[in-house]
C-alpha cells in the first residue's frame, strides 16, 4: 500500500483513524508536536514507502483523507526502539517526557495495533516544522 499524494506530495497520517488521530492532530495544530515516529518494518518496508528526508514537505491528512496542513522534515534518524532519546519524546509532545515513557506508550500502541516491537526494532524518528 502506498500513501496518496496531493499536489505531488506524499501524505502523512497521524495515529489511527478516529479519536486517536483527532487527539494527535490537536497536539500538532494547537500544541507543540514537532516530531513523530514510525516502525521501519511496518510503516515503511511493508508499505513500500521510503523514509522521509530532510527538506521533504508532507501533506497532513485527516480522518477522511482531506488535507489539513503541511509539514517539512527537519531531521530524520533511524534507531533502535531501545535508544529513542528523551529529546525525541519531548519533541513528539504526546505526553511522554522521557525515552522510557515513549517506549512504554508506543510499545503499547504498536502492540495493540498488532505489531511486534522489540528493543532492537528500528524506529524512524522524524522532526518537522509546521508550515500550514
CATH class of the domain whose range is 5-130:
alpha beta
State residue 121's pLDDT score.
Answer: 98
pTM, 2 dp: 0.92
Residue 56 φ then ψ, to 5°: -65, 135
Per DSSP (E only), the strands in the chain are 5-6, 9-12, 35-39, 57-61, 67-80, 122-130
Q: Mean pLDDT over residues 56-73, rounded?
A: 97
List the chain domain ranges.
5-130
Q: Mean pLDDT over residues 50-74, rounded?
A: 97
Q: Mean pLDDT over residues 5-19, rounded?
A: 94
Max Cα distance, the chain (Å): 38
Please tell me the distance from the alpha carbon of residue 89 to that of residue 110, in angstroms, as a whole number.
16
Grid cell digits, residue 101: 515513557
Per-residue pLDDT band for 4 (boundaries 50, 70, 90) equals: confident
Q: For the chain, what is the mean pLDDT?
A: 95
Amino acid at each position: 500500500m502506498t500513501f496518496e499524494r496531493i499536489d505531488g506530495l506524499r501524505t502523512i497520517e497521524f495515529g489511527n483513524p478516529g479519536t486517536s488521530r483527532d487527539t494527535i492532530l490537536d497536539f500538532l495544530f494547537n500544541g507543540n508536536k514537532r516530531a513523530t515516529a514510525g516502525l521501519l518494518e511496518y510503516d515503511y518496508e511493508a508499505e513500500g514507502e521510503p523514509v522521509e528526508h530532510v527538506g521533504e514537505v508532507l501533506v497532513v491528512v485527516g480522518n477522511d483523507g482531506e488535507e489539513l496542513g503541511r509539514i517539512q522534515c527537519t531531521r530524520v534518524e533511524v534507531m533502535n526502539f531501545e535508544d529513542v532519546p528523551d529529546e525525541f519524546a519531548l519533541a513528539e509532545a504526546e505526553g511522554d517526557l522521557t525515552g522510557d515513557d515513549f517506549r512504554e506508550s508506543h510499545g503499547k500502541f504498536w502492540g495493540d495495533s498488532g505489531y511486534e516491537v522489540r528493543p532492537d526494532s528500528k524506529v524512524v524518528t522524524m522532526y518537522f516544522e509546521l508550515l500550514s
